[in-house]
Amino acid sequence: MTVSVRLRLRSKEAGDDELPFAFMLITVMASCGISPYESFKRLRHMAVLPFIKKEADEIVRQVEVMNKDPLTAMLQRAEQTESEAYGDFLRGYVSTVKSGGSVTSYLKSKLRSIFEVRAVAAARSIERLETLVEAYMAMLLVLLSVYILTAVMSSATFSSTLEISFDAQLSVYLILFVAMPLVSVFFMVFAQKVRKGTLMNLRSIYLKALPCAVISGMLLAAVVVVPGVQDTVANSIFALQTALNNALPFAPLRILSSNIVPLIVTGCLMLISLLPMFSYSRMIGLNVKAEEAMPSFLRDVSETRKTGMSPEKSIVHGANRRGYGAFSNILRRIVNQIEWGISLRKIYRDLEERLRSWPVLTNFQILIETIEVGGGSPEALELLAGYSEKIRDIEKNKRDMLKPYVILPFIWTVLMALTFTFTFYVITQLPLGYMGSSTFPIVEAQTSLFSCAIIFHSWISGFFIGKVTQGTFAAGFKYSVFLAITAMVSLLFSQNIIDLLFGAL
């Protein structure tokens, strides 16, 4: 697939996501007596809809620079655009105008149609995501099966019976350090194409992980390269374990010498994720609440406007309602700015700095356009509120249906840790213990290295599940922390069970 084809596909996907909001604005403007061409002129200033903004710029350029008729310009864009739905909308509008039909009725019908299609597409996307998660888990199970088969074929008993020589160590390295990370990266790329989030401008959250990543890298390098650092850390961990044994009525999981480096790796991975996790948690709480409350706010504004209040007073009245949670602070700020005489445009620019939810910002900008061009007519506000509620219901339904899949990565993390430990010791390494104690340092080194691979893979899996459930990799920082801890605890538990049963560690 060439670069130009990929760009066209991404442009088409972006355009389809933006169409409901663009159609909503054009329909609301039409209910205020504004022609779609004038609506396109206003769409040129909506940075939150980049695809529609580009199309509007082209239509306006064709009309005002090339002196073409607006209908002719729209018909030409309908033939050239990458989005089939957008092209069909333009062709239908031109046909309605030429036939003398009701433009407003056509726009409302098209808007209903696009939301019905969007609801069906959301249901299909949920099914694709469910299949994606299940396929990811199946691939991990396949890799675990390959690991077990490799371990069995490399065992001393199996090799002597079949008189074969098999390099198990290389195969395990390939499975843990190559195959598993590649599988995770592949499914993360696929999830990026299937799952679209509603949040914008998350770069600052990712950048917060960089300083901690540098510190973690330096710490790991010091443990590996600098003599005595690992021993110092080990002594501190063993001292803490002794204190816990004396303080707690039950015996905690015993930390072995082979667990020191995996514990350090777990701590470093947690260090990378903690600051972005807290930042994202604060941000997502406000934005999700805003997405849930915005349609109710628009409904209140619409109903208040029907009583004859001015649009600004209707906004103030709607903002005073209780039950908006964290979004209430934003609404109170908007009310204060309106009472100070600040224009709605400036209020919107201030809102852009505080919210990152694409639907909320788009709905608020449509509200501003409705007030500016038509005085905020009750019919236009009714349309805006009604279709905003449909968008909220679609997104909320998607999040709710994907929530149960959060438990799956914890299941496969525990399964990987237990399978690795029992297979590694019982099938391949435990028989060596009867040949002499000199083999145990090698076993400990391999256990430490392989455990680090399991923990790192579990950490990466957190970003995959964050993308699937919430639409952004930034949500994965939280899951990556818990999965890394789950992997480490599972490894400690399984190794303690081996120690209890066989006394081999």
Band of pLDDT at residue 162, cut at 50, 70 and 90: very low
Confidence tier at 278 by pLDDT (50, 70, 90) = very high
Q: What pLDDT does 415 receive?
A: 85
Report the candidate in 499, 471, 432, 390 with the shortest Cα–Cα distance to residue 159. 432
Across 396-419, average pLDDT: 84
CB 335 within 8 A of CB 321: no
Q: For the chain, percent helix, then strand, then coil, each to nearest 5?
A: 85, 0, 15
Average pLDDT along the chain:
79
Query: What average pLDDT does range 41-63 have in this prediction?
Result: 86
- The DSSP-derived string for 242-299 is HHHHHHSSS--PPPPGGGHHHHHHHHHHHHHHHHHHHHHHHHHHHHHHHHHHHHHHHH
What are the pLDDT digits (tens) for 325-344? 788 888 888 888 888 888 88
What is the rounded (10 degree) CA torsion for 252, 431, 231, 248?
10
Band of pLDDT at residue 7, cut at 50, 70 and 90:
very low
What percent of the chain has pLDDT above 90? Answer: 6
Q: How confident is the model at residue 154 (pLDDT cuts 50, 70, 90)?
A: low
Please compute the mean of the pLDDT values over residues 212-230 and round it to a whole number: 79
Query: What is the DSSP code string of 331-390?
Result: HHHHHHHHHTT--HHHHHHHHHHH--BHHHHHHHHHHHHHHHHHS--HHHHHHHHHHHHH
User: Which residue has better confidence, 500 or 349?
Assistant: 349
354-394 pLDDT tens trace: 888 888 888 888 888 888 776 667 777 787 888 888 888 87
Tell me which DSSP letter residue 326 carries.
Answer: T
CA dist 468 and 403 (Å) reads 10
- Decide if 130 contacts 405 (C-beta within 8 A): yes
Domain ranges of the chain: 3-101, 127-196+258-284+401-502, 286-391
Give the per-residue pLDDT at 217: 85
pLDDT of residue 151: 67
Q: Which residue has the higher pLDDT, 73 or 165?
A: 73
Report the alpha-carbon distance of residue 404 to residue 184 in Å, rounded. 20
- The one-character DSSP state at 472 is S
Residue 481, classified by CB atoms within 10 Å of its CB into exposed (0-12), middle (13-18) or buried (19+), is buried
Amino acid at 105: S
Q: Calculate mean pLDDT across residues 123-133.
A: 83
How far is 176 from 167, CA to CA, in rounded Å?
15
Query: What is the pLDDT, as a whole number, of residue 1?
Result: 42
